[in-house]
Amino acid sequence: METSAVIALAAAFAIALSTICPALAQGKTASSAMDAIARQPEAAGEIRSTLVISLGLMEALTIYGLLIAFMLISKV
């Protein structure tokens, strides 16, 4: 197997893992936040702000995976 093919597969795995895992985590986090807001509506503002921060951090993982894939592809 050629080196460029291995790098291309590594880039594909980097993108796949960095999108699937945070997507599952974002769904679970949003679901839990909605449950928490339903139980304590008076805390909705605090829960929502914490949710937005955590979703942003999870999205950063996806961007890091995309960056790694770009770095790998530039070596091909």
Q: What is the pLDDT of residues 51-74, one digit of tens each?
A: 999 999 999 989 999 999 899 888
State the pTM of this model.
0.78
Are the beta carbons of 69 and 14 closer than 8 angstroms? yes
Helices (H), the chain: 3-39, 44-73
Q: Which of 52, 50, 58 is nearest to 26 (CA)?
A: 58
57 near 29, Cβ under 8 Å? no
Listed residue (1, 55, 58) closest to 30, CA to CA: 55
Domains and their CATH numbers in the chain: 3-73 (1.20.20.10)
2-46 pLDDT tens trace: 888 899 999 999 899 999 999 999 999 999 999 999 999 999 999
CB 50 within 8 A of CB 32: no
